[in-house]
Structure 1
Amino acid sequence: MTYEEALTYLEGCSSFGIKPGLERIEALLDVLGHPEKAYKTIHVTGTNGKGSVTSFIDTVLVTSGIRTGRYTSPHLVSYTERFCVNNRHITEDAFGAVIGKVAQAVETVLAQGVESPTQFEILTAAAFLFFKEQEVEYAVIEVGLGGLLDSTNVIVPEVAVITNVTVDHQQYCGTTVEEIATHKAGIIKKGVPTVTAAQGGALDVIEAKAKEMKSPLYVFNRDFTIESRSVSRQGQMITWQDKKGEKSLLFTGLAGIHQSVNLACATMVIRILMKTEKRISDETMREGLARTKWPGRFEISSVEGRTIIFDGAHNANGAEAFSMTYRELFKETPKRIVMAILADKDIGAIVGGLVGPHDEVYTVPAPTPRSSDPEELARKMPCHARAFTSVSDGLEAAMEQSHEGDIIVVAGSLYILGEASEWLAHRQKH
């Protein structure tokens, strides 16, 4: 398959929607010869912070000289962002080739009477196969949704990570934090260490599952913590400490107190891996964490004298994290926000976290059928708001109405950050 043929094929598979369950992915991997067993894995779930923690761990492993794969979703611009080896995206040609191989395996499982795999299951199988072909030693795997019935949950990792648990994806994972935590805790495997920053009722569920599976559990603010933290617009420095008193002074360019917690969780994972993986040292850990980048998570750049901030902030917890980070760095400075929110999200909570009474909002559609209508969204704002037909149009209007020194934010959905990134690159170039 060419890259374009692969995209057409995947688009056709999207009509099968989201179907939790492991039967289809297991059948696919059986036909492909179980590529997921060819290397060691780290499995990451949670409501927010999955991508950041995945990227932290991946970059440390690569910095330590270990050939490492990384599987994440969604992508911002191209599907090739989802499969990385040694921090490099898969090429379009290689992506087309591996999707073509999985498509052949799909034909085989359909002939066996298995129902059609979903788009995400095909991508997951393709990632596992690509990593085997690339002879990676480790792969850091981010779940797509939940954990228990997610198609990635066929691996037995070296460490499982549950970043946090808040209410999101209720139609698939349950309506309470405890029900959702049951899905996240589904990645806990027998005897495999688990690291988490979950709290309250969610932590109770995770602790019970870890006890049942005899999984050593490392809990943020109990087994490891952040002893001190200092911040600037360039990033933040934290002092990480475990309950034995071991300390590490660490820097990350990722902003926000939530990213310091993600950094702490990733550090705990790395510390566990260091017990058996001698190539990881304190030096490669510190360097890898400092080098980690993760697009679209309070990502600060500038164009024509304006400060530009990209942040997915696609649920209530993400919007709250954005609000805390913004106030920490920019106080109560009014901002212009180009915003889309998916219709199945808690729109009120997201707006409450992102928008202040003195802000100016430019509502736009996200490139998905799940997008809320920009006109309707504009009417829900606590400040002046106008609807636009595209992300680029909203950004152009924000630029025209702003001055040097002003702040423009793009937030509310990861789906709009791809177009926003392309717009920014074009504007900076010219």
Structure 2
Amino acid sequence: MTYQEALAYLEQASSFGIKPGLERITALMEALGNPQEDYKIVHVTGTNGKGSVTSYISYALFTSGLRVGRFTSPHLQSYTERIQINDGNITEEAFGNLISRVKVAVDTIISNGIEAPTQFEILTAAAFLFFKDQAVDYAVVEVGLGGLLDSTNIVTPKVSVITNVTIDHQAYCGDTVEEIARHKAGIIKSKVPVVTAAQDAPLRIIEDVAKEKHAKVYAFNKDFGIDSRSAVTGGQMITVSTNDAAPAMLFTTMAGIHQSVNLACALMAVRLLMKEDKSISEETMREGFARTTWAGRFEVKRGLDRTFIFDGAHNAAGAESFSMTYAELFKDAPKTIVMAILKDKNQDAIIREVVKAGDTVLVVPAPTDRTEVPEVLVEKIRHIVPKAVAQTADSVKDALALAYKHTKNGDIIAVCGSLYILGDARQWFNHEMSH
């Protein structure tokens, strides 16, 4: 298959929607020879921060001279971003070849009477197969949704990480944090250590599940924590202490208090791997963390005489992180916001955190059928933040052109509310910067 043919095939598979359950992926991996058993795995879930933690851990490992596969979702601009070796995306050609090999296995299991796999299951299988082809030492695998019934949950990792637990994806994981915590705790495997920054009721559930499975839990603020953090040029310095080792002074280019917690989780996970793997050292881990980048997570770009911020802020907790990080870096400077929010998110909470009096908001549709109608969001913004100006725009590119035109040198333009609009926004920015 060419890359375009692979995309058409995945598009057709997406019509099956999201169907939790492990029967299809188990059959699919068996048809491919269970490649996921050929390398070590770190498995990461959580409501927010799982992509950042996945990035931190994979950078620490490949900076230590190991070959590392990384599987994340969603992508911002291309499906090739989801499957990486070290810090390079799979090529379009390799992606096409890979999907055509997985299609053979899909056709086999369907002819054996198994239901057709979903798009995410096909991508998961493709990633696991590619990592075997590429002879990786480790794969750092981010859960797509929840944990328990997620298609990545057929792996037995060296370490499991549950970043945090807040309300998101209620339709699939339950309506209370307790139910959601149960789903996330579904990735805990027998005798495999678990690192988590979950607190309160979710932490108790994670601890209960871990106890049943004889898995040791390393909890934030109990077994490891943050001694200090300070914003510095280009990022932040964070001192993380763990119960069984000297405090580590770490630098990350990623801003915000939430990133310091993500980094602490990554440190704990990597230290657990270090116990068995002599190629990882404190030095290579620190260097890996300092080199880590993760697009669209409070990503600040300066250009066109403006400051641009690209951030997901796509659920209540993410929006709160956006608000705290913005206040820390830019105080209460007014901003122009290009925003889309999906229908199934807590829209009021996101608007309350992100939009402040004096801001101008341009609401656009996100390129998915889950997007909220812009007019509906404009009404909500006017109601929740009467001192902000809100209007619609037809597309992300139109909104950015408008925002640019109506701002002056030194102003701040933020794009947030959904990861789905960040690809178009970054494309627009790169295009304008190159002209």
Q: TM-score, normalised by structure 2?
A: 0.98
Indicate whether 1:19 and 2:19 are aligned: yes
The CA deviation string for residues 2-42 of structure 1, in whole angstroms up to 9 with x for no partner, is 10000000000010000000000000001000010010000
CA contact (8 A) 1:229 1:239 kept: yes
CA contact (8 A) 1:6 1:99 kept: yes
Distance in 2 of aligned mates of 1:88 and 1:405: 33
Indicate whether 1:391 and 2:423 are aligned: no
Indicate whether 1:279 and 2:284 are aligned: no
User: Which residue is equivalent to 2:363?
Assistant: 363
Matches within 5 A, 1:88-99: 88-99=88-99
Residue 357 of structure 1, CA deviation: 1.2
Residue 233 of structure 1, CA deviation: 4.8
Identity, % of aligned pairs? Answer: 62
Distance in 1 of aligned mates of 2:177 and 2:156: 25
Indicate whether 1:9 and 2:9 are aligned: yes
CA contact (8 A) 1:144 1:152 kept: yes
CA contact (8 A) 1:361 1:385 kept: yes
Residue 244 of structure 1, CA deviation: 3.6
User: Which residue is equivalent to 1:429?
Assistant: 434
Distance in 2 of aligned mates of 1:244 and 1:69: 28
Residue 245 of structure 1, CA deviation: 5.6
Q: Match of 2:333, SS?
A: coil
Q: Match of 1:58, SS?
A: helix
The CA deviation string for residues 331-388 of structure 1, in whole angstroms up to 9 with x for no partner, is 1110000000001111000101110011000000100000011121111112211101
The CA deviation string for residues 101-147 of structure 1, in whole angstroms up to 9 with x for no partner, is 01111100000000010000000000000000111110000000000
Q: Match of 1:395, SS?
A: helix
Matches within 5 A, 1:100-249: 100-244=100-244, 246-249=246-249
Q: Match of 1:248, SS?
A: strand
Indicate whether 1:416 and 2:424 are aligned: no
- What one-letter code is carried by the residue in structure 2 that aligns with 1:13? A
- What one-letter code is carried by the residue in structure 1 that aligns with 2:430? A
Q: Match of 1:164, SS?
A: coil
Give 4+ residue runs of structure 1 displaced > 4 Å after superposition. none
- What one-letter code is carried by the residue in structure 1 that aligns with 2:391? R
- What one-letter code is carried by the residue in structure 1 that aligns with 2:352? G
User: Which residue is equivalent to 1:407?
Assistant: 412
CA contact (8 A) 1:303 1:427 kept: no
- What one-letter code is carried by the residue in structure 2 that aligns with 1:329? L
Residue 52 of structure 1, CA deviation: 0.2
Q: Match of 1:246, SS?
A: strand
User: Which residue is equivalent to 2:56?
Assistant: 56
Distance in 1 of aligned mates of 2:242 and 2:26: 38
Distance in 2 of aligned mates of 1:82 and 1:175: 28
Calculate the aligned-residue CA RMSD, in Å. 0.7
Residue 408 of structure 1, CA deviation: 0.2
The CA deviation string for residues 227-274 of structure 1, in whole angstroms up to 9 with x for no partner, is 011113510001111124621110000000000000000000011111
Gaps of 5+ in 2: none
Q: Match of 1:14, SS?
A: helix
Distance in 2 of aligned mates of 1:73 and 1:108: 26
The CA deviation string for residues 58-114 of structure 1, in whole angstroms up to 9 with x for no partner, is 001000000000000000000000000111100000000000001111100000000
Gaps of 5+ in 1: none
User: More displaced, 370-379 or 240-249?
Assistant: 240-249
CA contact (8 A) 1:253 1:293 kept: yes
Q: Match of 1:231, SS?
A: strand
Residue 305 of structure 1, CA deviation: 1.2
User: Which residue is equivalent to 2:308?
Assistant: 308
Indicate whether 1:336 and 2:336 are aligned: yes
Distance in 2 of aligned mates of 1:92 and 1:41: 25
Indicate whether 1:295 and 2:295 are aligned: yes
CA contact (8 A) 1:232 1:329 kept: no
Indicate whether 1:376 and 2:381 are aligned: no
Distance in 2 of aligned mates of 1:244 and 1:387: 54
CA contact (8 A) 1:363 1:385 kept: yes
Distance in 2 of aligned mates of 1:238 and 1:419: 32
Q: TM-score, normalised by structure 1?
A: 0.99
Residue 290 of structure 1, CA deviation: 0.2
Distance in 1 of aligned mates of 2:62 and 2:217: 25
